């Protein structure tokens, strides 16, 4: 009597394909997903202390008077206003990796899932910070019709720079955050600019600085209409420009990682989590510009 043994591979894993039990992989980890560039840390101050609240009270502006010499003066009152950053969001990515999934695969599954989770958490923080920065900007600007077309680039950049020129904080550097769909006109303008700049752009490709403004490019769909964490945004069709380091995002202790044993399951529960809060400080709000793209 012949005995036929059947294996149902469809029930062996819920996170990876059954073919990993047969194939060998050239890489030590799974091919990672395409990732967008993270920007928040490049344009904001970052606080990773254990503080849930960061206080930055500011006083009203003093008024200086000038006139003939008399030796007399008047004393004015001033007001102090509280400016507070609250850490009020949590970001969590969690998965369960069974023991047999780790043993029977030919790559480091735990390391791969940790890397992917850490990026997912960092990406969510980045989206929250960029949209919060846009929402809280103290200045606004609408592009000429056609948005970031090649012909509009000099006008847009010069008018944006003019909005923050003359402030002491401008020495920290200027930035603009665009989505990938905005840069064709910018590239065309770069390669058609004066000799040395055009030569550099033609030789090296897209230049990440123009008119002294550092250019950061993210993938489409980062500026959104909808909820991210505790806030609701209406930023579709918007971009952001300003002075670096005038906003702060807090992430106490940074991104953290845990492995937990779970009763009645083999393997480990893998959890990546972080806390986050954001503040564009009120006295500096006019150093950030909310850009609306005019079609």
Cβ 237 vs Cβ 223: under 8 Å = yes
Q: Is residue 42 pLDDT above 50, yes or no?
A: yes
Residue 268 pLDDT level (bands cut at 50, 70, 90): confident
Cβ 255 vs Cβ 200: under 8 Å = no
pLDDT tens, position by position, 104-120: 665 677 777 888 899 99
Q: What is the mean pLDDT of the segment spanning 152-159? A: 97
Q: Where are the domains of the chain?
A: 87-292
Query: Which pTM was predicted?
Result: 0.84
Q: Minimal CA–CA distance to 190: which of 146, 145, 139, 154?
A: 154
Q: What is the mean pLDDT of the segment spanning 224-249? A: 97
| CA dihedral of 178, 33, 126, 236, whole degrees rounded to 10 | 50
How far is residue 221 from each of residues 5, 131, 136, 145, measured CA to CA in Å? 50, 11, 19, 21
């Amino acid at each position: 009597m012949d005995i036929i043994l059947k294996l149902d591979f469809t029930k062996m894993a819920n996170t990876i394909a059954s073919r990993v039990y047969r194939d060998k992989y050239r890489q030590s980890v799974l091919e990672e997903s395409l990732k967008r560039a993270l920007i928040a840390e490049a344009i904001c101050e970052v606080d990773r202390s254990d503080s849930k609240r960061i206080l930055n009270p500011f006083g009203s502006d003093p008024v200086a008077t000038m006139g003939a010499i008399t030796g007399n003066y008047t004393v004015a009152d001033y007001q102090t206003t509280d400016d507070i950053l609250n850490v009020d969001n949590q970001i969590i990515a969690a998965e369960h990796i069974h023991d047999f999934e780790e043993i029977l695969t030919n790559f480091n599954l735990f390391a791969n899932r940790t890397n992917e989770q850490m990026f997912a958490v960092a990406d969510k923080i980045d989206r929250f910070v960029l949209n919060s920065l846009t929402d809280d900007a103290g200045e606004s600007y609408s592009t000429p019709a056609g948005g970031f077309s090649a012909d509009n680039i000099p006008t847009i950049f010069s008018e944006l720079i003019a909005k923050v020129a003359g402030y002491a904080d401008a020495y920290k550097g200027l930035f603009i955050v665009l989505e990938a769909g905005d840069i064709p006109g910018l590239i065309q303008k770069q390669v058609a600019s004066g000799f040395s700049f055009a030569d550099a752009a033609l030789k090296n490709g897209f230049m990440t600085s123009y008119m002294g403004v550092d250019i950061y490019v993210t993938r489409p769909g980062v500026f959104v209409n909808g909820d991210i964490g505790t806030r609701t945004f209406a930023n579709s069709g918007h971009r952001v420009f300003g002075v670096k380091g005038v906003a702060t995002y807090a992430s106490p202790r940074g991104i953290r990682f845990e492995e937990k044993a779970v009763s009645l399951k083999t393997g480990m529960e893998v959890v990546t989590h972080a806390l986050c809060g954001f503040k564009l400080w009120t006295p500096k709000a006019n150093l950030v510009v909310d850009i609306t793209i005019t079609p």
